[in-house]
Structure 1
Amino acid sequence: MRRRILQCCSAIALTAAMLGASACSAPPSETTNAERTAYTEPPLPGKAEPATSPQAAPPPANCGDPTASLRPSRDPEQSGPTIDAIRARGRLVVGLDTGSNLFSFRDPISGTIEGFDVAIAKEIAGDLLGDRERVEYRILGSADREMALQNKTVDIVAKTMTITCQRRQKVTFSTVYFQANQRILVLKGSGIDGIADLAGKRVCVVKGTTSLQHIQQYQPAASLLTVANWADCLVVLQQRQVDAISTDDSILAGLAAQDPYLVVVGATISPEPYGIGIPKGNDDLVRFVNGTLERIRNDGTWNAIYNQWLAVLGSSPGPPQPRYED
């Protein structure tokens, strides 16, 4: 028995030695340190793509002062076909997005949609329906705003929508409820101080915005990346996939509030007067919305909303004064 145990132990030892020799004689791994630490650039957000050069188009018809709107009705019980239909439905359908911090965004804790534009829409709903919460939100990209109004899938759009003559050919606007200015957002110490410095740089903009048109017009040497919303621009800037973002200073302030390494720079590229978008032909609703905007200018509500959501921009400049075309 003792001899058998010794034989077994010798066999085990021999097998182990052979395996060890085999392991030692195996060719070394061909994976190098460089391959193990290779950097893979993060993917771009969905629907991101380089902007193509715009085709030359005839200038839009001159509409005079694009910010002039219909005079508001002084009747709190004002009626009309559009207003009556909304009241019969029992809710105001509002188009906006959830990627514009400070103006319209989803609170990460409560899940509710909040912001300056949301508060303005709720004031309209409160006057129209007697309840500020009777609002149904439809989430829209910037490029979808005009189509949603033309198809009347929303009653109004409250989404940092700049009033222009070109847009007024397709939709109607309220009076101006906020005055913004297009500027540039960059990383601190980037060396970019204005639009002249964007030549040869990568700039993120959102499709369907006046910001895109202005960069193409005033700095054609910039390389543009278009995305679906401004939150995507923040991501690609943080990942160093672009050098700058350009849009309204109000939107840029909302992005900068999320990252202490970002700063808004440069002089004003273009004034951006925001209006509530309304389908063409719905003049009764235009007058009603303008009535709400007139009320909140005069009773202090506008300043209260500004101080709640936009104090990061500085002290309240006061509401923009309305201009009427009738």
Structure 2
Amino acid sequence: MKKLIAASAAVLMTVTACGSGAYDATQIPAKPQPKAAVAPAAPAACNDPNPLRSYAPAGASLDSQALVRIKKNRRLIAGVSADSLHLGSRNPISGQIEGFDIDMVKAVAKAIFGEDGHLELRVISSPQRIPSLVDKKVDIVARNMTINCVRWQQIAFSAEYYHSGQKTLVPLDSTVTSTKDPKLDGKTICAPAGSTSLDNLKKQNPNVIPITADTDTGCLVLFQSGKAYGISGDDTVLAGDAAQDPYAKVLQEKAFSAEPYGLGMNKDDHDLVQFVNQVLEQMKADGRWMESYNKWLAPDLGELKAPPAPVYGRPLPR
């Protein structure tokens, strides 16, 4: 029987962070349940020649419409994860949410408000990422979200701030060598709901039985309880899962998808996107981006020579 290591039930909470680092958290436990994967509705046709194109930071201003709104609200509201180790997870000692994704939004908040960096972190699940932006419940989402053409029809993205890829996690004693391995046929594999991982998994091995959970911890709990044989998702997330469970391993296979991460924003907030792209450029230039990568991701994912280069050229809406 697998030993449960540092996995908790998925939670839905709101966390407020200010420059002081103090957090006020309300936690509502939610027992993760396996869900049969449901085929998504057919997406609208996409003709974007390059979904990685974002709005050039030239002309970014603190006096633009979105930035004035955020300053009037006296805080930047960011949708994040609290259970993706190394990306966005709650430190059990300090109680604070920390990680690579969190460093990105902290830098944006600091650029808007100065050293105080008024930042409110709202914990959301994968399926809540886009609705939270569309409904304007958050200003920005930093939750390992892949930039793609279909999503650009609903929201706007920053330039790529990290390049991930999908792999699969299995029990430590498994003889499976890849996600395509016939030994996985008929096995139950968990992938986060509302993510690109689910579709990628079905394409890579249509013979597995996919189930979903709303959070990364939800998939880990299903794996550790024996309800899922494995987990398929971004290598960043799986590295965090494996770090919490010594009875798990990530398959040493080439990533079978490209997952360029972008910070998500409301489709109308193109001026905020420009500002965020300016902040990301500054982080990459002055070493803060690499410092964050080396702290949170390098120990599991290895050395990285340089951050991803931004791609601009998306026409501003008229």
Verify the 8 A CA contact 2:37 2:211 in the aligned structure 1. Answer: no
Partner SS for 1:270:
coil
1:310 corresponds in structure 2 to 297
1:99 is matched with 83
Which of 235, 241, 244 is the aligned partner of 1:258?
244
Instruction: Give how far 1:303 is off.
Output: 0.5
Q: Structure 2 CA distance, aligned partners of 1:315 and 1:272?
A: 18
Runs of 4+ in 1 over 6 A off after TM superposition: none
Change in Cα spacing, 1:118 to 1:51, as seen in structure 2 (3 Å) is same
**Unaligned runs of at least 5 residues, structure 1:** 1-42
What does the per-residue CA deviation read over 1:186-240, in whole Å, with 9 as the maximum and x for residues that have no partner?
1122122112123211101111000011112332211112112111211221222
Q: Which residue of 2 aligns with 1:136?
A: 120
Note the alpha carbon deviations across 1:9-60, whole angstroms, 9 max, x for none.
Answer: xxxxxxxxxxxxxxxxxxxxxxxxxxxxxxxxxx997352332451672563
- Does residue 169 (structure 1) correspond to residue 169 (structure 2)? The answer is no
Question: C-alpha deviations, 1:154-197, integer Å up to 9, x for none?
Answer: 00000000001111110000000000000011112212211212
- What corresponds to 2:216 in structure 1? 230
Number of the residue aligned with 1:79: 63
Whichever structure has more helix as a proportion of its residues is: 1
2:99 to 112, 115, 128: 115
- Tell me the residue number matched to 2:47: 62
The TM-score with structure 1 as length reference comes to: 0.82
The percent identity for this pair of structures is 38
* 1:220 match: 206
Whichever residue aligns with residue 52 of structure 2, its letter is: T
8 Å contact 1:60–1:165 — kept in the other structure?
no
CA contact (8 A) 1:253 1:264 kept: yes
Shift of 1:241: 1.9
Q: Which has the larger radius of gyration?
A: 1
Superposition RMSD on alpha carbons, in Å?
1.9
Structure 1 pair 74–231 and aligned structure 2 pair: CA distance change class (3 A): same
1:55, 1:106 → 2: CA distance?
Answer: 31
Q: What are the residue-to-residue correspondences of 1:1-326 with 2, within 5 Å?
A: 46-54=31-39, 57=42, 60-73=45-58, 78-131=62-115, 133-197=117-181, 198-265=184-251, 266-312=253-299, 313-326=301-314
Other-structure match for 1:11:
none
The count of aligned residue pairs is 283
- Contact 1:74 1:291 survives alignment (8 Å): no
* Preserved CA contact (<8 Å) 1:49 1:225: yes
Structure 1: how far apart are the matches of 2:188 and 2:305?
A: 33
Matched residue SS, 1:138: strand
Q: CA deviation at 1:71?
A: 0.4
Q: What CA deviation, in whole Å up to 9, does each residue of 1:242-299 have, x standing for no partner?
A: 1110000011001111122221112211010000000011111010000000001111
Letter in 1 for 2:86: L
**Cα distance in 2 for residues equivalent to 1:60 and 1:131:** 44
Residues 174 and 132 (structure 1), Cα distance of their counterparts in 2 relative to 1, 3 Å cut? farther
CA deviations over 1:299-319 (Å, ceiling 9, x no partner): 111110111111221113421
The answer to whether the 8 Å contact 1:53/1:216 transfers is no
State the Cα distance separating 1:132 from its structure 2 match.
5.5
Distance 1:100 1:281, change over 3 A: same
2 CA distance for matches of 1:50 and 1:112? 30
Distance in 2 of aligned mates of 1:156 and 1:232: 23
Where does the alignment leave 5 or more consecutive residues of structure 2 unmatched?
1-8, 11-29
Indicate if the aligned counterparts of 1:79 and 1:284 stay in contact, CA closer than 8 A: no
Other structure's SS at 1:269 match: coil
